[in-house]
Amino acid sequence: MEPFAWQPAASPSEAASIATHTTAEAMLTLTGRPDTQQAMLIKAGGVDLLDLMKEGLVNPGRLIDISRLPDLDGISGEPDGGVRIGALATLARIAAHPALQQSHAALSQAAALAASPQIRNRATLGGNLLQRPRCWYFRSAAHHCLRKGGAHCFAFPGDNRYHAVFANQGCAIVHASTPATALAAYRAEVELADSAGHRRRVPLADFFVLPQADMHRENTLARGELLTAVWLPPQKPDCRAQYLQIGERAAFDWPLAAVAAVLDMDGTGHCRQASIVLGAAAPVPWRARQAEALLAGARIDSATAAAAGEAALAGATPLSQNAYKLPLLAALVRRAVLSAAAIDTVLPANPGAP
Amino acid sequence: MANEHRKEDAAAAGRIAGPAPLPIVLRVNGETRELMVEPRTTLAEALRGPLGLTGTKIACNHGVCSACTVWLDDLAVASCSVLAIEVGERRITTIEGLAGQDRLHPVQAAFIDYDAVQCGFCTPGLVMSCAALLARNPRPDRKEIETAISGHLCRCGTYPHVVQAMLALGTREEPDLE
Amino acid sequence: MNDEFPRRREHFPVGLAHLGLETVEREIPADEPPALGPNAGLRQIGKNAPRWDARAKVTGAARYTVDVSLPGMLHAAVLRSPWPHARLRSIDLSRAAAAPGVHAALTVAEPPVSGKPIVLRYVGQPVAAVAAETPALAQAALQLIDVRYEPLPFVTDPDRAKQADAPAVYRKPELDKVPSAGLPASAAVYPLSGNVLGPESRNSRGDVATGFAEAAVVVDGTYRTQVQTHCCMEPHAIVASWHEDGLDVWMSTQFTAGVRVQLARHFGLPLSRVRVQVQAMGGGFGSKSQMGVYGRTAVSLSRLAGAPVRLVYRRDEEHMDSGNRPSSEQHLRIGARSDGTLTAISLHSHGSAGIAFGAAPGGIASALYPCPNMESLHYDVFTNAGPSCAMRGPGNTQGAFALEQSIDELAEKLALDPIVLRDRIDPSPVHREERRMGAERIGWSQRRAPASDPGPLKRGVGMAQSLWPANVQINTACEVRLWRDGSVEVLSSVQDIGTGVGTVLAQVVAEELGLEPAAIRVRIGDTEFPSGPPSYGSRTTASITPPARTAAWRVKEAFFRTIASAWQVDAHTLIVQDGSIQVRNDPQRRISWQEAAAALRTDRISATAGRADDYAGFRYRSGDAAMALNDLGGAQFAEVEVDTESGVIRVLRVVAVHDCGRPINPRQIESQVQGGVLMGISYALMEERILDSHTGWMLNPNFVDYKVLGPQDAPEIDVVLLENYQGFSASDAYGISEPANIATAAAIANAVYNAIGVRIRSLPMTPAAVLQALGLVPGGRH
Ligand SMILES: Cc1cc2nc3c(=O)[nH]c(=O)nc-3n(C[C@H](O)[C@H](O)[C@H](O)COP(=O)(O)OP(=O)(O)OC[C@H]3O[C@@H](n4cnc5c(N)ncnc54)[C@H](O)[C@@H]3O)c2cc1C
Ligand code: SF4
């Protein structure tokens, strides 16, 4: 890592006002340029930021540490039954939170499967949602690719086995956050605050951006903005959820494919409404709308679940080496639906789940 | 005195420290240690360098192998992914401080008994994770043990003996020792 | 018989202990100890003494090379080629050398032919190096090296490299500089066509055309294995201190004595002035056997700077430039009569060791099952990739993956059980017993036809065998010292890289002297002591334990003579028991070990013994290396569960039945077998070095995308050890590391076939590969 100065933030608004760039902006405008030292960046747990800095992908002049700010790590139930999770809550706390395990099981499951115990003890939810992609070309300083402001994408002609199968024109990253898949299925919102202390809430679906919209960032976080919380809407009493992922290792591995399913069941085996979101499939948590449509109002059985799995693949555009993700995603959707509806829980999917 | 003052400043909110080396204070293994670090110095580097606590190992430097596991208060963390300057008042426990001088923690003794050690490079980290588990769960089952050590890489393949050693420390599952 | 070397006759137990032993008479050198009885009658050997350095390792006190810090020590950093193939146009170190805190800078890359320009042939190849006061200063100084490259066309994919129009990695005159991934050898003796070197035809015999003509059935398959990197947890590391008296080196090495010789030669120093040490060592697996570029670089920097220099590789440097297991593409054909008798084996292989050569898939196809007609043609394919070197069971691990699947396929064609077929074609009684025991433990009799499970989760059982020569390093010595206070030391330069050889030495010496292993001080890993063997080729225990026992026995003889003369008895009537020495059958004549030692005339008595030839001779011998008459084997059985919808293979259980002569510390052997199996599963299911064919860079030089098996991927492993007595040496012990790794991937592949009825002939068997093999991936099968 290059040398940098250190500043513990006194308050969220101070942090927001000092930060000169988002990490994405700094990497884009400053990579490899001498003025890279101008950037002052927000650091939470530091897991992703230090990783990028060790690889020389960004060399900020100053880190503004928000990790010790008080009152940003709470997990609290709201009067309406929703839950607010402070941006500094760690993945370990989210995974182990008893109320969340009850109300939003898919999120607990996803948080528990992300990274390792050591990392979950440090990684904050805010930082997790804002971490940069894991595309191996992106993570290699030797490959100055499109997303970093370069001229081409190396993944299309190169090795794209771990890349996106949906919405992958131009850049084929998959979104790196495991919890985001579950959060998107719950239709969560992020809370953003600026230096004046103004807060706004944005649906996760609008917060994340596709490469077609902006090639150079994964979300609409603006400079001078802090992610302060994630809001989970209340769940209907009959809502059932399941998060499933498959990796090459049984644990501590970014998934090859993942799915979060939230089903609003009517008590007679029918599903009122379904939310199906695919992970490791697209540059953003990918909502499988056709699968959702198919499930809404349907009786959940193996046939509808299988049909939902097929429907989830609508619009897929696999690359030269990642077509294997299609059968994988279809199988995961089918299993997650059956498992959420408590019809079939025999099939394993999260071998590494605690 | 002047030094004392600067140290407090560095930790104080709102103040800028570095990039030049600065003095900090760490609470390591029950002792208060003063040392000079740059803001970019990781906790693992600070432990192994100025503090001379080389039992903590760096094998990947990216949080992927967990060989550098230490405790911050009661939490096992990868010390390569923590900056020394941000530790503050939290208690650091390293492999050297796990048991008292010339004593062995039960996990250490079990590792010896079950030969849960080969080249030993990943061992201090594994011991720290296992001891952290035992502190919050004195009778872990196989699944809990495997989850607790899921962040570790051991190329010699000590996992089965580590699990055996840990099972022997609890009583839920009888270890199958021949 | 040679009169100068007196010999005597001894009676040795031979056979498999659990089946009953016989006795064989052998003539042995008179200065070797008497035959050792079977383990059942011994007090230390065959018992699970705790690992000698376990306490230091679990408390963090163990000192690895990365922990060595000398006063005034500098830190080195290496500038590496960003190009897969480039001519070095110019390099100017002056700015870097003048940078703050920098004490030395030098060019590391060497021209292929002296006088010719330097050519860099893979991304990550060392170009230059600096030594500075801190690691950060060294790293910063690299950026000040003014270097200009002229990029050249390159090729990283072996299939592409084979084509006639592929960019050439080497030219013919450069061949004698090509590094060897195997035994010391020169590539220049083989023909070169484009990037294809060879053929090398080893082990060919008979006439395969005739053999295939006689065959009732023929199996024919092409198998592919990937490049695997060693992933030692401790990176390559060295601390070099060049000083007036010579050179002191601390190095994470598998061979202190060998590295000393290489350093002395390279730097023109007498052996007497070069010392190499290693205390704790964080894994090698074949990658840390040589002086290496990192060794030469650190020493050169130390000489230039006049200060000690530490060089430690980062993880990405480890992956790109510290060796790897070469890839292979094996086209294997086997013909057999209808009763299973083999009539012909033909193995045509290609393999890439990157810019090195020596990627042959071992000799297992020619040696495991005797067959009169064998043709083995191997071609090395050069690519612009980091050089391979030996890796745990080099060659045979790749070879077993093809051979053992082919044998299973043959069994199926012949409608024979795979074990029945092997019983017919494998003449080794030890292997037969290993198969029998393994089959019993895994429940082979319950094994079902392929793809028997109706649901998406399918279970299967498979097995495979390994084969590895029982290597011995002749150039091995060990010293044992007894001090006047009764304390005992065992000394050798042999290093403990995690195998537990230190424990084994203590046990062997303790056995001979009637003491406890904990009472023996183990002093190893230092070339100041008698030269020990390397820790590779599964030869360490086989080489060092006989001289250790011999030295202890000689010390005991000398010690007993002093006591016997004081007591006026025959020294041969003395025995040692429970820390006392007494006259056999006369408990009155008894003295404690310490008291007896106190009466020594000198402060200590000591004996140094060398490795005698195996008593029954060697099968092969060349220079310092030899091979015992019998090979090491092992049969591994795996039970897997394949999720046919996700492609995930879970290995549920492995039974590993192995022989290593006389087991000395069963628990440590179990540890090592588990390690071999786990490395094999990791190889089978997930590991792969991935190079970008457009830029030549390794895409996964880390542990995130280069996947290594973790705790949750590890199955239950049932290790069964045979006691196989042969009466070959003073300890009769042999190695285990490599046989434990060779069969695993093949056993899993056979189990996967049994589970799903589809044969997977390439590694790694990732979910993507399994889905592909099942025909579930749009775009069709491979
Ligand atoms: C080996 C390894 C394996 C991993 N595996 C997984 C996995 O399986 N699944 C998964 O989801 N993740 C995984 N991760 C990623 C990890 O979860 C993230 O790196 C971590 O969550 C980031 O959180 P942090 O608090 O450390 O963020 P930081 O590194 O501190 O910050 C990340 C980014 O967010 C910005 N930032 C952080 N907080 C805020 C805020 N509140 N407001 C505005 N900006 C902010 C920072 O400027 C920075 O750009 C893995 C990481 C490692 C190293
Ligand atoms: S997929 Fe995106 S991040 Fe990866 S190389 Fe292409 S442009 Fe860069």
Determine, yes or no, domain membership for B52: yes
In the structure encoding, which two tokens stand for residue B68, read together? 């550098």
Q: Which residue has the tokens 């890993």?
A: C525
Overall average pLDDT of the C154-177 stretch: 95
Q: Where are the alpha helices (DSSP H) in C579-665?
A: 593-598
- Condensed to tens digits (0 to 9), the pLDDT of residues A222-248 reads 999 999 999 999 988 889 999 999 999
Bridge partner residues of C345 (DSSP)? C334, C374
Same fold yes or no, C158-229+327-407 and C471-627: yes
pLDDT of residue B175: 45
Which CATH fold would you assign to the domain A5-67?
A: 3.30.43
Given pLDDT bands bounded at 50, 70 and 90, which one contains residue A127? very high
Q: Which residue has the tokens 């044992």?
A: C480
Examine the pLDDT at C213 and tell me if it is beyond 70: yes
Q: What count of other Cβ atoms lies within 10 Å of the Cβ of residue A17?
A: 16
Sign of CA dihedral A167, C703, C183, C746: negative
Q: Which of B46, B65, B98 finishes a domain? A: B98
Give yes or no for a contact between C129 and C105, defined as CB atoms under 8 angstroms apart: yes
CATH: 3.30.365.10, 3.20.20.70, 3.50.50.60, 1.10.3720.10. Which one for C471-627? 3.30.365.10
CA-A125 nearest atom, ligand 1 = 21
Given pLDDT bands bounded at 50, 70 and 90, which one contains residue A35? low
Overall average pLDDT of the C549-575 stretch: 94
Q: Which chains touch A (3 or more CB pairs under 8 A)?
A: B, C
Mention every residue, 6+ apart, whose C-beta is less than 8 A from residue C572: none
Given pLDDT bands bounded at 50, 70 and 90, which one contains residue C116? confident
Edge to edge, the sheet with strand C618-622 lists: C471-473, C625-628, C618-622
Comparing A11-15, A78-82, A346-350, C639-643, which segment has the lowest mean pLDDT? A346-350
Examine the pLDDT at B7 and tell me if it is beyond 50: no
Range of the domain at B133: 106-171
pLDDT of residue A236: 87
Give yes or no for a contact between A26 and A53, defined as CB atoms under 8 angstroms apart: no
Pocket test for ligand 2, best of A27, A31, A55, A145 (most atoms within 8 A of CB): A145
Examine the pLDDT at C430 and tell me if it is beyond 50: yes
Overall average pLDDT of the A77-93 stretch: 95
pLDDT of residue A33: 54
Q: C646, A159: Cβ pair inside 8 Å?
A: no
Q: Which residue has the tokens 């804002």?
A: A130
Q: CATH classification of A239-340 is 3.30.390.50, yes or no?
A: yes
Examine the pLDDT at A146 and tell me if it is beyond 70: yes
CATH class name, domain C65-152+236-312: alpha beta
Ligand 1 site, residue A51, Cβ cutoff 6 A:
yes
Task: Pick A136's closest partner by Cβ from C456, C700, C778.
Answer: C700
Q: Residue C747 in 3-state DSSP?
A: helix
Give yes or no for a contact between C285 and C564, defined as CB atoms under 8 angstroms apart: no
Residue B140: closest C-alpha in chain A: A354
CATH: 3.20.20.70, 3.30.230.20, 3.40.50.720, 3.30.365.10. Which one for C158-229+327-407? 3.30.365.10
Q: Which chains touch B (3 or more CB pairs under 8 A)?
A: A, C
C chain contacts of residue B48, beta-carbon cutoff 8 Å: 67
Distance of alpha carbon A107 from alpha carbon A120, whole angstroms: 14
Comparing A170-184, C87-101, C561-575, which segment has the lowest mean pLDDT? C561-575
Query: Does residue B11 sit at the A interface (CB-CB below 8 Å)?
Result: yes
φ/ψ of residue B14, rounded to 5: 90, -20
Q: Which of B65, B82, B98 finishes a domain? A: B98
Write the CATH number for B156.
1.10.150.120
Overall average pLDDT of the B124-140 stretch: 96
Given pLDDT bands bounded at 50, 70 and 90, which one contains residue B173? very low
Overall average pLDDT of the C409-417 stretch: 98
Longest dimension (CA), chain A: 65
Determine, yes or no, domain membership for B94: yes
pTM confidence score: 0.96
Mention every residue, 6+ apart, whose C-beta is less than 8 A from residue C682: C707, C708, C709, C713
Task: Pick C712's closest partner by Cβ from A137, A158, A352.
Answer: A352
pLDDT of residue A349: 58
Query: Does residue C314 sit at the A interface (CB-CB below 8 Å)?
Result: no
Query: Does residue B108 sit at the A interface (CB-CB below 8 Å)?
Result: no
Question: Where exactly are the structural domains of chain A?
Answer: 5-67, 239-340
Distance of alpha carbon C221 from alpha carbon C403, whole angstroms: 10
pLDDT of residue A347: 60
pLDDT of residue B5: 40
Question: Where exactly are the structural domains of chain C?
Answer: 65-152+236-312, 158-229+327-407, 428-470+630-773, 471-627
Which CATH fold would you assign to the domain C428-470+630-773?
A: Aldehyde Oxidoreductase; domain 4 (3.30.365)
For residues C55, C56, C59 and C65, what is the CA-based torsion angle, rounded to 10 degrees? -150
Q: C64, B121: Cβ pair inside 8 Å?
A: yes
Q: Are residues B111 and B90 in the same domain?
A: no
Residue C741: which of C695, C709, C777 has the closest Cα? Answer: C709
Determine, yes or no, domain membership for B11: no
Determine, yes or no, domain membership for B176: no
How much is the ipTM here? Answer: 0.96
Examine the pLDDT at C159 and tell me if it is beyond 60: yes
Given pLDDT bands bounded at 50, 70 and 90, which one contains residue B152? very high
Considering its fold, how many domains does chain B have in total?
2
Question: Which residue type occupies A126?
Answer: G
Given pLDDT bands bounded at 50, 70 and 90, which one contains residue C5? confident
Examine the pLDDT at B2 and tell me if it is beyond 50: no
Write the CATH number for B55.
3.10.20.30
Edge to edge, the sheet with strand C7-16 lists: C22-29, C7-16, C724-725
Give yes or no for a contact between B137 and A125, defined as CB atoms under 8 angstroms apart: no
Q: Which of B67, B98, B129 finishes a domain? A: B98
Determine, yes or no, domain membership for B33: yes
Task: Pick B62's closest partner by Cβ from A9, A51, A68.
Answer: A51
In the structure encoding, which two tokens stand for residue A27, read together? 């990497």
Ligand 1 site, residue A145, Cβ cutoff 6 A:
no
Q: A50, B66: Cβ pair inside 8 Å?
A: no
For every residue of A215-239, DSSP letters joined together read TT-SB-PPTTEEEEEEEEPPPPTTE
C706, with CB counted inside 10 A (0-12, 13-18, 19+), is buried
Overall average pLDDT of the A301-314 stretch: 96
Examine the pLDDT at A138 and tell me if it is beyond 90: yes
Give yes or no for a contact between C630 and C660, defined as CB atoms under 8 angstroms apart: no
Q: A6, B39: Cβ pair inside 8 Å?
A: yes
- Please give the radius of gyration of chain A, using alpha carbons only, rounded to the nearest integer: 20
Determine, yes or no, domain membership for B30: yes
Examine the pLDDT at C347 and tell me if it is beyond 70: yes
Overall average pLDDT of the C534-540 stretch: 94
Given pLDDT bands bounded at 50, 70 and 90, which one contains residue C173? confident
Determine, yes or no, domain membership for B141: yes
Of the two residues C108 and C3, the one the predictor is more confident about is C108
pLDDT of residue C177: 87
Task: Pick C51's closest partner by Cβ from B54, B57, B117.
Answer: B117
Examine the pLDDT at B172 and tell me if it is beyond 50: no
